[in-house]
Protein backbone atom coordinates (compact mmCIF):
# COMPACT_ATOMS: atom_id res chain seq x y z
CA UNK A 1 0.00 0.00 0.00
CA UNK A 2 1.30 3.44 -0.92
CA UNK A 3 1.70 6.04 1.77
CA UNK A 4 0.82 9.66 1.16
CA UNK A 5 2.83 11.28 3.92
CA UNK A 6 6.40 12.31 3.29
CA UNK A 7 8.70 11.32 6.09
CA UNK A 8 12.33 10.26 6.28
CA UNK A 9 13.03 6.60 5.60
CA UNK A 10 14.81 4.84 8.45
CA UNK A 11 18.56 4.56 8.15
CA UNK A 12 19.02 7.90 6.38
CA UNK A 13 19.77 11.44 7.52
CA UNK A 14 16.52 13.44 7.80
CA UNK A 15 16.50 15.37 4.49
CA UNK A 16 18.13 12.51 2.61
CA UNK A 17 15.55 10.17 4.11
CA UNK A 18 12.78 12.41 2.79
CA UNK A 19 14.44 12.43 -0.63
CA UNK A 20 14.75 8.62 -0.54
CA UNK A 21 11.07 8.37 0.43
CA UNK A 22 9.99 10.53 -2.52
CA UNK A 23 12.25 8.61 -4.93
CA UNK A 24 10.71 5.35 -3.70
CA UNK A 25 7.17 6.74 -3.88
CA UNK A 26 7.79 7.87 -7.45
CA UNK A 27 9.14 4.44 -8.34
CA UNK A 28 6.21 2.63 -6.71
CA UNK A 29 3.80 4.62 -8.86
CA UNK A 30 5.81 3.80 -11.99
CA UNK A 31 5.91 0.10 -11.12
CA UNK A 32 2.16 0.13 -10.53
CA UNK A 33 1.61 1.62 -14.00
CA UNK A 34 3.73 -0.99 -15.78
CA UNK A 35 2.64 -4.05 -13.82
CA UNK A 36 1.74 -6.97 -16.04
CA UNK A 37 2.81 -5.41 -19.34
CA UNK A 38 3.73 -7.93 -22.03
CA UNK A 39 6.75 -7.68 -24.32
CA UNK A 40 4.66 -6.50 -27.28
CA UNK A 41 3.23 -3.70 -25.09
CA UNK A 42 6.71 -2.72 -23.90
CA UNK A 43 7.91 -2.58 -27.53
CA UNK A 44 4.81 -0.83 -28.96
CA UNK A 45 5.39 2.21 -31.16
CA UNK A 46 2.25 4.04 -32.26
CA UNK A 47 4.16 6.61 -34.30
CA UNK A 48 7.51 6.45 -36.07
CA UNK A 49 9.10 8.98 -33.71
CA UNK A 50 7.68 7.59 -30.43
CA UNK A 51 9.69 5.96 -27.70
CA UNK A 52 8.45 2.61 -26.46
CA UNK A 53 7.57 1.94 -22.84
CA UNK A 54 10.61 -0.33 -22.67
CA UNK A 55 12.89 2.41 -23.96
CA UNK A 56 11.41 4.88 -21.46
CA UNK A 57 12.06 2.42 -18.62
CA UNK A 58 15.64 1.95 -19.80
CA UNK A 59 15.97 5.74 -19.97
CA UNK A 60 14.68 6.16 -16.40
CA UNK A 61 17.35 3.72 -15.22
CA UNK A 62 20.10 5.33 -17.29
CA UNK A 63 19.30 8.81 -15.98
CA UNK A 64 19.48 7.53 -12.42
CA UNK A 65 22.79 5.80 -13.21
CA UNK A 66 24.46 8.92 -14.62
CA UNK A 67 23.22 10.96 -11.66
CA UNK A 68 24.80 8.41 -9.34
CA UNK A 69 28.12 8.98 -11.07
CA UNK A 70 27.82 12.77 -11.08
CA UNK A 71 26.66 13.11 -7.47
CA UNK A 72 28.49 10.24 -5.73
CA UNK A 73 31.68 10.04 -7.79
CA UNK A 74 31.96 13.56 -9.26
CA UNK A 75 32.21 12.31 -12.83
CA UNK A 76 30.24 11.53 -15.98
CA UNK A 77 30.11 8.29 -17.95
CA UNK A 78 33.40 6.93 -19.24
CA UNK A 79 33.52 6.03 -22.94
CA UNK A 80 32.85 2.38 -22.12
CA UNK A 81 29.95 3.30 -19.82
CA UNK A 82 28.52 5.56 -22.53
CA UNK A 83 28.54 2.59 -24.90
CA UNK A 84 26.38 0.71 -22.38
CA UNK A 85 24.06 3.54 -21.30
CA UNK A 86 24.13 6.21 -24.03
CA UNK A 87 21.36 4.78 -26.21
CA UNK A 88 18.96 4.74 -23.26
CA UNK A 89 19.98 8.26 -22.21
CA UNK A 90 19.44 9.76 -25.67
CA UNK A 91 16.42 7.70 -26.80
CA UNK A 92 15.33 8.39 -30.41
CA UNK A 93 16.08 6.28 -33.51
CA UNK A 94 18.91 4.27 -32.02
CA UNK A 95 16.84 3.34 -28.97
CA UNK A 96 13.84 2.39 -31.11
CA UNK A 97 16.07 -0.12 -32.91
CA UNK A 98 18.09 -1.39 -29.95
CA UNK A 99 15.74 -1.39 -26.96
CA UNK A 100 13.18 -3.98 -27.84
CA UNK A 101 12.47 -7.67 -27.34
CA UNK A 102 12.89 -7.66 -23.58
CA UNK A 103 10.29 -8.90 -21.07
CA UNK A 104 9.11 -6.72 -18.21
CA UNK A 105 11.32 -8.57 -15.74
CA UNK A 106 14.41 -7.36 -17.62
CA UNK A 107 13.47 -3.73 -16.99
CA UNK A 108 12.34 -4.37 -13.42
CA UNK A 109 15.65 -6.02 -12.50
CA UNK A 110 17.64 -3.18 -14.05
CA UNK A 111 15.65 -0.49 -12.27
CA UNK A 112 15.91 -2.36 -8.95
CA UNK A 113 19.68 -2.83 -9.19
CA UNK A 114 20.23 0.84 -9.96
CA UNK A 115 17.88 1.95 -7.18
CA UNK A 116 19.50 -0.28 -4.57
CA UNK A 117 22.86 1.23 -5.47
CA UNK A 118 21.37 4.72 -5.11
CA UNK A 119 19.91 3.94 -1.69
CA UNK A 120 23.18 2.39 -0.45
CA UNK A 121 25.05 5.53 -1.45
CA UNK A 122 22.44 7.89 0.00
CA UNK A 123 22.60 6.07 3.35
CA UNK A 124 26.26 7.07 3.63
CA UNK A 125 25.58 10.80 3.15
CA UNK A 126 24.58 13.50 5.62
CA UNK A 127 22.11 16.25 4.86
CA UNK A 128 24.83 18.83 4.13
CA UNK A 129 25.85 16.69 1.12
CA UNK A 130 22.57 17.64 -0.57
CA UNK A 131 23.63 21.29 -0.69
CA UNK A 132 27.21 20.78 -1.92
CA UNK A 133 27.60 22.85 -5.07
CA UNK A 134 29.58 22.22 -8.20
CA UNK A 135 29.44 23.76 -11.66
CA UNK A 136 28.64 22.28 -15.02
CA UNK A 137 31.33 22.77 -17.69
CA UNK A 138 29.42 25.88 -18.84
CA UNK A 139 29.83 27.44 -15.39
CA UNK A 140 26.23 27.01 -14.22
CA UNK A 141 26.08 25.83 -10.59
CA UNK A 142 24.09 22.85 -9.33
CA UNK A 143 23.86 20.91 -6.11
CA UNK A 144 23.24 17.27 -5.28
CA UNK A 145 19.70 18.00 -4.15
CA UNK A 146 18.86 19.34 -7.60
CA UNK A 147 20.43 16.31 -9.30
CA UNK A 148 18.16 13.93 -7.37
CA UNK A 149 15.13 16.18 -7.82
CA UNK A 150 15.83 15.92 -11.56
CA UNK A 151 15.97 12.11 -11.39
CA UNK A 152 12.52 12.16 -9.81
CA UNK A 153 11.01 14.73 -12.17
CA UNK A 154 12.39 12.87 -15.18
CA UNK A 155 10.77 9.62 -14.04
CA UNK A 156 7.45 11.36 -13.37
CA UNK A 157 7.54 12.97 -16.82
CA UNK A 158 8.22 9.68 -18.55
CA UNK A 159 5.59 7.90 -16.47
CA UNK A 160 3.12 10.35 -18.02
CA UNK A 161 4.33 9.27 -21.45
CA UNK A 162 3.94 5.63 -20.43
CA UNK A 163 0.34 6.30 -19.43
CA UNK A 164 -0.36 7.90 -22.82
CA UNK A 165 1.13 4.89 -24.62
CA UNK A 166 -0.96 2.52 -22.51
CA UNK A 167 -4.12 4.46 -23.44
CA UNK A 168 -3.19 4.14 -27.13
CA UNK A 169 -2.68 0.40 -26.65
CA UNK A 170 -6.10 0.05 -25.03
CA UNK A 171 -7.75 1.85 -27.95
CA UNK A 172 -6.10 -0.62 -30.32
Tell me: the pLDDT tens digits for 128-140? 999 999 999 999 9
* Rounded-to-integer distance, Cα 148 and Cα 139, Å: 20
Q: Hey, which CATH number is domain 14-166, 1.10.3720.10, 1.10.1740.10, 1.20.120.450, 1.10.150.120? A: 1.20.120.450
- pLDDT, tens digit, for every residue of 103-128? 999 999 999 999 999 999 999 999 99
Element (H, E) at 134: strand 133-135
What pLDDT does residue 114 have? Answer: 98
CA distance 141 to 6: 28
Residue 75 sits at the vertex; the CA angle it makes with 74 and 78, to the nearest 5 degrees, is 160
pLDDT tens, position by position, 67-83: 999 999 999 999 999 99
Question: Domain residues of the chain, as ranges?
Answer: 14-166
Calculate mean pLDDT across residues 164-168. Answer: 94
Is the distance from CB of 36 to CB of 58 less than 8 angstroms? no
Amino acid sequence: MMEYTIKPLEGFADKIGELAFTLEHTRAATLNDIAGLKQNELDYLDRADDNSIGALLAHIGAIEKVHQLISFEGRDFTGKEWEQWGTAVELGDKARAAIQGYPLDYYLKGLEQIRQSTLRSLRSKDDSWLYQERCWPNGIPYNNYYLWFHVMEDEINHRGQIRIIKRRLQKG
